[in-house]
Amino acid sequence: MHLLEAYPLSPVLLQYLCVALDSDQVLPIGIFITALIAWSQSILASPTDPSQTTQLLSALCALAAPRVQKPAVNLSPTLPTAQGCVSLVQHVSRLHDALLTSSALDILLAILKTVVTLPLNPNLSPALALNLVPGINDLLDGGDIVSPELTNWLFQLSALTTTDGPGPSRVPQQVDESPQRPELLEFSKNGPLFDVLAYQVTTVLGYPDAHLSALQTVYNTIPTPDSFLSQLYLSLISILANEPDGNTRLIIRAALFGSLPTLLCQLEPGQNKLKEGAQLAIAGLFTQYGALLDKCDATAPITRAREDSMDEDVPEDGTRGKNIRTTLVQSLQSVSLLDSNFTFPGVTIDSWPGRGMGRVFTEASENGQELEAYLRSKLLSLDIPLSDKLELIDRAVLDPETHACLCTVLHKGYTSLTASTQHLSPAPLESLAHLSRLLYTHSDVLDIVGLRVPPTEFVAAGLAFLEDVEGAGVGDPQSALGQYGDVLLLLQLLVTRYELKSGTLKHGDRVLDASYLTSSWAVYHLSDLTEPERTLINDWVKAAFDSNSFGIDDNTWRSTNPRVLLKLSATLFTEAIRKCAAEPEGAGMEILRNGVSYFEGPLLNWTLRGVIWALANEAERHGQVTPSLSTED
């Protein structure tokens, strides 16, 4: 390290390090990581040349990151090394250097992995690793780092350091509350671990296999499958029974009866013990918690006003869905975890009709198609009205058995369109815009899809597509801008709805900037902008907010980079309001209204979310709402 400080970024020294690290006997990666973290703490405490230090640190982290992720790598870090790495990530995340932050985070995740995977780290036990939790929570709360892997590590640590059920914890009391959703702990007396696990599997994926990883972690710590399934289903049923919101109940049911049974099948090869456990668990649930199950039926209705359900799901009064006992048994029968002849004394279970008996399956059959082909032909077609597509999704989300197919069609359709940019033409952009509009218009489908596909996959793929489109000049400039906006609106919704705060996302080998999705939420001083940015604002103010203007001409449309327009939209409105305020009162109001009308249509309405937020913030900061601003209502 001293040589590298003396000869920073020396190609010879860096090449030597590569060779040494690739020969584990010369320089084991564990020793290098320990030295790197110790050195980083000393130089960050008192840097002599911050710029040079950051460049060197970035180079060293870039060397280490891919090597710590190799299979069977031997790290065995101590607590000080782990704490130093947390501090390192905290420091570099504030530098807004995407590659350095990504590399440092990869090293931290590799260190943390040694605590929760076999063979366990002899130098850093789960109980000792609890000292890292405050720093990691600070990282996640700060907003610069959004890492589903870090969140999942906290969950895994909780599973390893919390007892299953009543009794004293094996670790200090303060870790009994999960970092993810402490308020759910009051829903049942089943123990915090399974309440947290239930919450985990009913929320959208932070990364692929997050739900399976959480289930597998807890499953491996519970003595018997029936104990695991009993406690898990009790927590899920408790949450469902106590949830007042209809949309949230729909998502819980989607996980409980849709995605969860499929995940359970992957916990154990052969599934024999799991099948025995399911039989005992469901029988025990029916015996001991009948009142709770009845509460689910009574307080979680599916009504005609909200949903067009299957005939067998809605009785004559239209107030109640299929009996939860029937649905629960059938969901496990559909994946062969319960036998088709399962019976329980004193409980009448509707006979299992077999797979593919729901309304959407019937529609597909009547059209002579398999379910996936039917959904694809309807949802991805440009010829089907949006209202018809939304009604089809309404029917599909009610039947958990259709969810896997629905998610496959939407996910594959989206990713195939975003991947088509190597042959850019107006068609992929138009199709992707239609699909994006469908996804952001339906209130529940994103949550349903998110149980099986991480929202970040959609955001990363969409960002890559838009980045390519920006440089291609695809098709008619006005149509292209409106279609660009539809794709962007979905990405903005995903980022805000699921709190994806990270500044960068990875898509294949590309590192993409996601921060511009919320860049319009600021009003910039003209003096802080570049000359091309000031020119854009001037051109748009003249075109849209000038009484002598004939409208926005093709040259303005064609020369406008949509990313820059998004960033500057709030500033553009601020300048327009200032210009109109200088006009005679009546004329100024009319000019402003006319200009705003351009942005209310589908070509430009994707810029307004940031505009409204930024202008409202400006008004609050100045202590009043001006008459000019009120004309936007």
Residue 117: helix, strand or coil by DSSP?
Answer: coil
**pLDDT bracket for residue 351 (50, 70, 90):** low
608 closest CA partner among 559, 553, 563, 570: 570
**pLDDT bracket for residue 133 (50, 70, 90):** confident
Least confident of 181-185, 231-235, 440-444: 181-185
Amino acid 363: pLDDT: 92
**Reported pTM:** 0.69
Least confident of 72-81, 254-263, 284-293: 72-81
Amino acid 631: pLDDT: 38
Amino acid 191: pLDDT: 58
Amino acid 534: pLDDT: 94
110-121 average pLDDT score = 86
58-79 average pLDDT score = 85
274-282 average pLDDT score = 93
Interhelix angle 290-299/225-242, nearest 10 degrees: 40
Question: Is it the case that residue 353 has pLDDT exceeding 80?
Answer: no
267-275 average pLDDT score = 87
What dihedral angle (degrees, nearest 10) is formed by the CA atoms of 189, 191, 197, 199? 40
Question: Is it the case that residue 226 has pLDDT exceeding 90?
Answer: yes
Amino acid 621: pLDDT: 66
CB neighbourhood size of 198 (10 A): 29
CA dist list (Å): 45 to 86, 103, 337: 15, 20, 57
**pLDDT bracket for residue 308 (50, 70, 90):** very low
Cα distance between residue 328 and residue 340, in whole Å: 13
pLDDT one-digit tens code per residue, 322-333: 688 888 998 998
Say which residue, 447 or 222, is predicted with more confidence: 447
pLDDT one-digit tens code per residue, 371-426: 999 999 999 999 999 999 999 999 999 889 899 999 999 999 999 999 875 546 67
Say which residue, 25 or 53, is predicted with more confidence: 53
Question: Is it the case that residue 253 has pLDDT exceeding 80?
Answer: yes
Mean pLDDT of the chain: 80
Amino acid 317: pLDDT: 35
Amino acid 478: pLDDT: 82
pLDDT one-digit tens code per residue, 516-567: 887 777 888 999 999 999 999 999 999 999 888 888 888 888 888 898 999 9
Question: Is it the case that residue 21 has pLDDT exceeding 60?
Answer: yes
pLDDT one-digit tens code per residue, 158-214: 777 764 433 333 333 333 333 333 332 333 344 567 877 888 899 888 778 889 988
Question: Is it the case that residue 497 has pLDDT exceeding 90?
Answer: no
pLDDT one-digit tens code per residue, 444-472: 999 999 999 999 999 999 999 998 887 66
Q: Give domain limits for the chain.
A: 1-145, 173-344, 359-499, 519-630
Mapped to the 3 state alphabet, what secondary structure does 408-432 carry? Answer: HHHHHHHHHHHHHHHHCCHHHHHHH
Question: Is it the case that residue 598 has pLDDT exceeding 80?
Answer: yes
Cα distance between residue 286 and residue 613, in whole Å: 50
Contact 196, 181 (CB under 8 A): yes
Amino acid 140: pLDDT: 79
Amino acid 543: pLDDT: 92
